[in-house]
Amino acid sequence: MDTKVVTVQARGETFSYEAEQALREAGEVLRAGGLVAFPTETVYGLGGDALNPESARKIYAAKGRPSDNPLIVHIARMEDLKAIVRQVPGEALVLARAFWPGPLTMIFPKADCVPRETTGGLETVAVRMPSHPVARGLILRGGGYVAAPSANLSGRPSPTAVRYVIEDMDGRIDMILDGGEGEIGLESTIVDLTVSPPQILRPGSVTRDMLEAVLGQVSIDRTILEADSGQAPRAPGMKYRHYAPQGELTIIAGPAARVTDYINVHGAKDREQGHKVGVIGTDEALAQYRADVVRSLGSRQDEAGIARHLYGILREFDDLQVTRIYSECFEASGLGQAIMNRLLKAAGHRLIVLDAADQAGE
Ligand code: TXA
Ligand code: MG
């Protein structure tokens, strides 16, 4: 299949003539049952008509993704919500007022018109209203309901730039809309509204504190940060070893000087054994690392920057065929909870905690 790549620039909600043409064509592709990758404010999505079971099957095939992993339905207008869910609880209205359009996904009991293929066999449906103007433009022209997982091959980091979408999806889908880089870089926060109190199934840039500020109490799925909670995560997708780089990633926590020492000593040993060693650091410590490839997520002070840069660096390490990776560790609160959730998953929960007394090389 030939995949058409088109740049779509938006100024606010208005599009150039060319952009309007491209969006209209992409909308037709969706309505005819085809697939279009598109930018959102989080990561690129791989869109198909959410009400067409055949489109859902094509999405799973293009991603190489197990079909028990449900898709998020993207809408562009509040009035479209009630057609696809059985009931809209008051909490949903409160959350929508505060965070839609934006990086928040809510889980509802599904209406009959949403096929099981879209929801991975579940009786619930995940819904999000993205804020990115290209995403909104596409949804409105594509029938109003766009099922879209992240536009990566299953097992790779979500794409934060169009070049990663092309890498993974060229030849597998009908069209790719290039709308620049995602400003957030991590997937949306998922909140389940079918339980009480509402529960966070996937942390994102809408943090627990932000949700509690408008909702009162919100719980959190224990599997989000724990390696062996003995429970299956409630968002089926979170059980897969997502976000995994090809090299073995270990996160090193502790006092900054000990962390750099540990990484340098262990990295040197790995290199003696023939490994290509990569380091995921921050601006504050970058000059001190010795490894084959050293990359910075930005300043420790800038959590949003760290979130934005993480997936691109993981992909770059794959491209450079790095076989051992060490990463600094981050506070698991606020946006840091989403960052650490993704980093721990990428590391298969390999985390080494050094205290001030540990000797490097131990
Ligand atoms: O930011 C995002 O949410 C991006 C952009 C494209 O919007 N999309 C995204 O989709 O990350 P995906 O498919 O990569 O992740 C969807 C997650 C999976 O972990 C899935 O299991 C969970 O949402 N999910 C979807 N429907 C669900 C449901 N009914 N109940 C529980 N979890 C659900
Ligand atoms: Mg994904």
* Nearest ligand (C-alpha, residue 240): 1
Q: Ligand 1: which of 35, 68, 150, 239 to mutate, most ligand atoms within 8 Å of CB? A: 150
Q: What contacts 13, CB < 8 A, 6 or more positions away? A: 133, 136, 137
Per-residue pLDDT, 361: 47
Establish whether residue 188 lines the binding site of ligand 1, counting it when its CB lies within 6 angstroms of any ligand atom. yes
* CA–CA gap between residue 165 and residue 181 (Å, rounded): 11
Contact in structure between 29 and 46 (CB atoms under 8 Å) = no
Establish whether residue 70 lines the binding site of ligand 1, counting it when its CB lies within 6 angstroms of any ligand atom. yes
Establish whether residue 201 lines the binding site of ligand 1, counting it when its CB lies within 6 angstroms of any ligand atom. yes
Look at residue 309 and give its three-state secondary structure.
Answer: helix
Confidence of residue 107 (pLDDT cuts 50, 70, 90): very high
Q: What is the mean pLDDT of the chain?
A: 93
* CA–CA gap between residue 109 and residue 60 (Å, rounded): 22
Establish whether residue 37 lines the binding site of ligand 1, counting it when its CB lies within 6 angstroms of any ligand atom. no
* Percent of the chain's residues with pLDDT above 70: 94
Confidence of residue 69 (pLDDT cuts 50, 70, 90): confident
Per-residue pLDDT, 362: 46
Closest CA to 190 of 198, 182, 179: 198
Closest CA to 336 of 225, 201, 177: 225
Residue type, 64: G
Closest CA to 182 of 199, 162, 168, 167: 162
The residue with tokens 């890498």 is 167
pLDDT tens-digit profile of 34-50? 999 999 999 999 999 99
Q: Ligand 1: which of 187, 221, 234 to mutate, most ligand atoms within 8 Å of CB? A: 187
Q: Torsion over CA of 94, 193, 72 and 341, rounded to 10 degrees?
A: 100
Look at ligand 1, atom 20, and give the residue with the nearest C-alpha. 237
Establish whether residue 186 lines the binding site of ligand 1, counting it when its CB lies within 6 angstroms of any ligand atom. no
Q: Give yes or no for residue 295 having a pLDDT over 60.
A: yes
**Distance, CA of 262 to chain centre:** 30
Q: At what angle do helices 90-99 and 208-215 cross, to 10 degrees?
A: 130
pLDDT tens-digit profile of 226-273? 765 556 677 776 665 567 789 999 999 999 999 999 999 999 999 999
Average pLDDT (58-69) is 90
The alpha carbon of 148 and the centre of ligand 2 are apart by a number of angstroms equal to 9
The alpha carbon of 254 and the centre of ligand 2 are apart by a number of angstroms equal to 30
Q: Give yes or no for residue 65 having a pLDDT over 90.
A: no
Establish whether residue 69 lines the binding site of ligand 1, counting it when its CB lies within 6 angstroms of any ligand atom. yes
Look at ligand 1, atom 10, and give the residue with the nearest C-alpha. 149
Establish whether residue 43 lines the binding site of ligand 1, counting it when its CB lies within 6 angstroms of any ligand atom. yes
Confidence of residue 3 (pLDDT cuts 50, 70, 90): very high
Q: What contacts 20, CB < 8 A, 6 or more positions away? A: none
Q: Ligand 1: which of 136, 153, 190 to mutate, most ligand atoms within 8 Å of CB? A: 190
Fill in the DSSP letter of residue 267. H
The alpha carbon of 70 and the centre of ligand 1 are apart by a number of angstroms equal to 7
Stated as kind and residue range, the H or E segment containing 200 is strand 199-202
Per-residue pLDDT, 155: 84
* CA–CA gap between residue 235 and residue 137 (Å, rounded): 28
